[in-house]
Structure 1
Amino acid sequence: MAKQPTRDDVARLAGTSTAVVSYVVNGGPRNVRPETRKRVLEAIEQLGYRPNASAQSLSRGRSDLFALLVPDLANPYLAELAQRLEEEFFRRDMVLVVGDSHDDQDRESTILEAFRRQQIAGLAWYGVTQPLPLDLLEDASFPVVLLNEPDGQRMGNHSRITRLVADEQEAARIATEHLLQHGRTRVAMVAGPKGRHNARERIRGWRLALRQAGLDEGVVINGPFTRAGGVQAAQALIDSGADAVVVSNELQATGLLRELHRAGVAVPEDIAVVVLNGTALSEFLWPPVTSVDVPVSSQAEAIADFVTGTDRARDLSVTSRLTKRASCGCSYFSKD
């Protein structure tokens, strides 16, 4: 195997010192005369020299890596966010690295520490628990966007940490009101695990819509944010006598729809369905599922703006929108 060219090789060919080669490669800290810079760049091109990324990171105090830490990449919403972030940061000459904690707090801590050792340029973090264990970010020198942190007050005046704020309560209220507009009166809720802040907020929005309509509260079915959680919720939903349901995420909806079909329950004729945090997948479930979405592309852009220093807003706000499809009783082709 041919020996890889080194910085010393570049310096010899360019007729300069290795320090000057470093200044050219790293963009400083000292200025290099234009004619010398040209010789160094020509030598790099001729030799095919590739700078050591780790050494560059140390010299600059950071890398060109941006990190995303999530609890479950099988979640379509988080997978789509990861894809959009990768596109956004690649466009800005940065690289996305992704950690999946598998809903395990110990694994989450280990991954976060590994990211810090890599001297990442920024972090987006969707934590296993809420509130997030912010002590893990103690003395962090990079900007951080918290994707599911409920309490902005705990961050104090830390200008390098912000939240991406999605109104979970409002999203559930929108979903419930839409089902009520279809004449449904017994609306259930497939929520997340008991004790999760986002699960509680979604239940509050569902309850608010029912209360404002003068209707009795339906059944709440708690379970994991997984396909299995949707499967497990199906029989309880059928037994409840509900004629509609708000489902907390697409993974749950996927499992729920399969089990309703197996039980001979027609959607939307017997039970109308609306899902929260929908993605492009909702259109390809059957029937296509009406969803309350948070536009992922705008989230990715806001996150990238913050960590690259373009925007230092204290909170990054996102707005939910209803996408109508067949599962609630709307026309499959509805664009409203």
Structure 2
Amino acid sequence: MGARRVTQADVAQLAGVSQATVSLVLNGEQDRVGDATRQRVLDAISRTGYSANPVAQRLAGGRNQIVGVFAYEPVFPRGSGDFYRPFLVGIEGEAERWGCDLLLFTSAQVEGGRRRLSGKARAHLGVTDGCILLGHSEDKQELVHLVDDGFPFVFVGRRELPGAADLPYVGADYVGATYDVVRLFLDRGHQRIGFVGELSDRESILDRLTGYRTAMRDAGLRPTSFDPADLAPDEILDVVRDNRLTGLVLAEAYRAEGIRAAATRRGLALPADLSIAILGQPEVTAGRSVDSGLTWSGFRIPREEMGEQALRLLVELIENRADAGRHRLLPCSLEFGQTVTVPPHTAH
């Protein structure tokens, strides 16, 4: 049989206090225990390795120094794309600086491509001081419940909730970044620029669409946006031809290579005949086109910094910092690349 588990009574005996005093220290009731007594209890806890149930009781300062990470989709890649790695690198580095441990929640099974933050998964959050949430397929009603419960958490990515619920997040400034990419086209003489992206209520897509429309209207031009959900790359090029577009901005990076290949089959060269930019490259590890050798124009998302800032904001919320704020948007870096040039009718 294994060694006997250490109990509160063992801690009390070693510290020379009552078991009730140990409970007060574990529950963070600092004003009812003197500093010297509290320190003796904490020293006894450290020496015995005591943990309650097993880590849910709060230790020094009323916290466990454990931060949860919950992803709605699997975090470890099975293909070539590695969407979550930079976020996790940033989170891990910042956790090390703050001296806290990370707990990755994996017990919630993936159903239909996503996890749910309810039932057992929600109950498990209680062993942490707070949690960082990542993913595309969140249930917003679950997030409303987290806000209402007062549980500290931060979402990686801008999120808006129904009603008055104010969700803490660290996101990327897709509005400003998309505006700058469209200006890249405009400065080279383009006037017919199309937006290709899923028309949904996802904040990341809506922000890109807002940046595109604002830039076009500021230039006195008519926006042209369409949802490519049911369109093959060749059909997207048909839309380009029918609307006499000279440039495209793509909300989803994975469509870029298919459109480039379809253009090549039609005898169209990028960017001489059609300029294309990617509005962020979330699953492209390098900006270079696989087949053509071109470096895509567009912007890059500061994913590692978003992870760092999410952990930092979470710690500030746990500590009830009055100056913490609840929303942070980080700038993206513009990538000039090689896929945007002057439109065909002005090339000569």
- TM-score with structure 2 length normalisation? 0.68
- SS of the residue corresponding to residue 287 of structure 2 reads helix
Q: Does 1:137 align with 2:146?
A: yes
For residues 105-184 of structure 1, the aligned pairs below 5 Å read 107-110=115-118, 114-119=121-126, 120-126=128-134, 128=136, 132-133=140-141, 134-137=143-146, 139-146=148-155, 147-150=157-160, 154-155=164-165, 161-184=167-190
- For these two proteins, the number of residue pairs brought into alignment is 312
After superposing the two structures, state which structure 1 stretch, 236-245 or 250-259, moved more: 250-259
One-letter amino acid of the counterpart of residue 168, structure 1: Y
Query: How far has the Cα of 1:211 moved from its partner?
Result: 3.0
Q: Between the two structures, name the one with larger relative contact order (CA 8 Å, sep ≥ 6).
A: 2
- Mapped to 2, the partners of 1:54 and 1:252 lie a distance apart of 49
1:274/1:327 contact within 8 Å kept: yes
CA gap of 1:273–1:129, structure 2 versus 1, over 3 A, is: same
One-letter amino acid of the counterpart of residue 267, structure 1: L
Deviations 1:87-119 (A, max 9, x none): 3223322215266997959833448x5144231
CA gap of 1:317–1:35, structure 2 versus 1, over 3 A, is: closer
**Please, which of 307, 315, 324 is the counterpart of residue 300 of structure 1?**
307
In the alignment, what sits opposite 2:287? 283
For residues 186-335 of structure 1, the aligned pairs below 5 Å read 186-223=192-229, 232-239=231-238, 240-241=240-241, 242-253=245-256, 255-257=258-260, 260=263, 265-278=268-281, 281-286=285-290, 287-309=294-316, 312-329=324-341
Structure 1, unaligned runs of 5 or more: 45-49, 224-228, 331-336
In the alignment, what sits opposite 1:3? 2
- SS of the residue corresponding to residue 246 of structure 1 reads strand
In the alignment, what sits opposite 2:69? 67
- Mapped to 1, the partners of 2:300 and 2:206 lie a distance apart of 18
One-letter amino acid of the counterpart of residue 306, structure 1: L
- SS of the residue corresponding to residue 56 of structure 2 reads helix
After superposing the two structures, state which structure 1 stretch, 70-79 or 277-286, moved more: 70-79
- SS of the residue corresponding to residue 116 of structure 2 reads helix
- Mapped to 2, the partners of 1:89 and 1:254 lie a distance apart of 37
CA gap of 1:314–1:261, structure 2 versus 1, over 3 A, is: same
For residues 12-23 of structure 1, the aligned pairs below 5 Å read none
User: What fraction of aligned residue pairs are identical, expressed as a percent?
Assistant: 17
Deviations 1:249-293 (A, max 9, x none): 333435544555566643323322221233572424442222323
2:153/2:314 contact within 8 Å kept: yes
- SS of the residue corresponding to residue 184 of structure 1 reads coil
- Mapped to 1, the partners of 2:309 and 2:43 lie a distance apart of 40
1:250/1:282 contact within 8 Å kept: no
In the alignment, what sits opposite 2:346? none
Query: How far has the Cα of 1:34 moved from its partner?
Result: 11
1:72/1:101 contact within 8 Å kept: no
RMSD (CA atoms): 4.5
Instruction: Select the structure that is richer in helix.
Output: 1
1:85/1:96 contact within 8 Å kept: no
Q: Does 1:80 align with 2:114?
A: no
- SS of the residue corresponding to residue 213 of structure 2 reads helix
One-letter amino acid of the counterpart of residue 66, structure 1: G
- Mapped to 1, the partners of 2:72 and 2:276 lie a distance apart of 27
Query: How far has the Cα of 1:206 moved from its partner?
Result: 1.7
